[in-house]
Amino acid sequence: MIETPTISHFIKDHEQALQQELINFLRIPSVSSDPLHKDDVRRAAEFVQDQLINAGVDSAKVMESTGLPVVFAERFIEASLPTLLVYGHFDVQPADPIELWDSNPFEPTIKEGKIYARGACDDKAQMMIPIKAFELLNQVDDLGYNLKFLFEGEEEVGSVSLAQFIKENTTLLHSDAAIIVDTFQFDAETPAIVYGVKGAIMLNIEIQGPERDMHSGLYGGIIKNPADELSRIIASFKDEEGKILIDGFYDNLVTPSASDLAHLENWAAKSGGLNELKIQAYEPTLEVNGIRSGYGGEGGKTIIPAKASAKISMRIVPGQSAEAVFKKFTEHVSKMLRSDHFEINIEQLAGFEAAVMNTEHWIFDKAKLACAQTYDADIVFQRMGGSIPVVGFFNELLGIQSLLIGFGLESDNIHAPNEHYHLSNYYRGIETLAHLLKSTS
């Protein structure tokens, strides 16, 4: 049985190598939303494949999906052991706006114990943690599970090809539980486990008015303005208190359980803001992510724009269906549109369901024991306001529970300039996962 000093000594002895491998990974600009970086996403997949092979898997391969590639690997020990499916993603958000970064987002910089780069926290360092924990245990022959690894390159665009890949490979991916390292600690010294995620619907609305931009002096008050129309429609989504006014939006919501409320009260006792946390964890939301129309540069340009568009995201909760909510949304917009003057197109960019795990499942007990080895504070259980599509996919398509544990901090600037990751959390994460994955005999 591997002892705590052995794990910590291994990490200390390999700090430079662990750091350099992470730097090499972060240098790859694997931006999944930009077609110009398609080859970089594949390079990242190949990097991950090499890492898994070096760590000691039986096999690892880059596999094709209907979109960007995925990486699958496995290590079989014996049939009597449970099998865990480890998930992560190697794609990253765009680095824009570049001018707000203090250093090149794809040339990792270490300052004051933190590594600055796009993808440092979300999710490249995090997804490397279980690989390195596995490598450690594999070297000393103390792995307690059969492992399968699934890493994708489209999480930042809604995992648009992953559900189909899972459907086509259910036998290959069959496991007893999943581990996902892609979340935050509660604070610098307190671990957190996320046991519920919201679903999401991401869409784009475009309203077309005149065939081209028109002079506002000649045609103002005569030609209807698509920017006005879009603004009017957006204003119809909510009342002054923020309640969403789309008919049927709140239908069939599942009431939080007694266990949910107990976890919520513990979470609020440590952080405050009970009402805000309740909204974040349990209530569906709708937000306008961006609006585009006409001229927005320096000075003036007196036009009636030809078109206007907006990006909208809705976070949904258990009881809601992404398909049904999208349908209700489109019906609402169609009802509001003055169709004699405009053409409208609503494009769904992504849609996936919410998922809530049973915290009585044995994988959560294993996580508690592992965290007790590396933290003095008890775990805070949370249901997050964000979305991780694969959690619902694993639940629906593979019938397995997912343990979401992470070692980032909310201050790590994910999706923002100067994203970073504390190297101390990287090493602590590897140590914690090694305790989780090791043999108990």
Q: What is the pLDDT of residues 200-257, one digit of tens each?
A: 999 999 999 999 999 999 999 999 999 999 999 999 999 999 999 999 999 999 999 9
The mean pLDDT of 255-273, rounded to a whole number, is 92
1: pLDDT strictly greater than 50: no
The mean pLDDT of 189-200, rounded to a whole number, is 96
The mean pLDDT of 125-149, rounded to a whole number, is 96
Distance of alpha carbon 342 from alpha carbon 224, whole angstroms: 8
4-197+354-437 CATH fold: Aminopeptidase (3.40.630)
Quote the pLDDT of residue 412: 98
* Domain with residues 199-249+284-352, CATH architecture: 2-Layer Sandwich (3.30)
The domain ranges of the chain are 4-197+354-437, 199-249+284-352
Quote the pLDDT of residue 5: 58
4: pLDDT strictly greater than 80: no
341: pLDDT strictly greater than 90: no
441: pLDDT strictly greater than 80: no
| Whole-structure pTM value | 0.89
Q: What is the largest CA-CA distance in the chain?
A: 83
Distance of alpha carbon 19 from alpha carbon 122, whole angstroms: 16
Distance of alpha carbon 398 from alpha carbon 412, whole angstroms: 32
Count Cα neighbours of 223 within 13 Å in the Cβ-side half-sphere: 21
Quote the pLDDT of residue 2: 47
98 with 105: CB under 8 angstroms?
A: yes
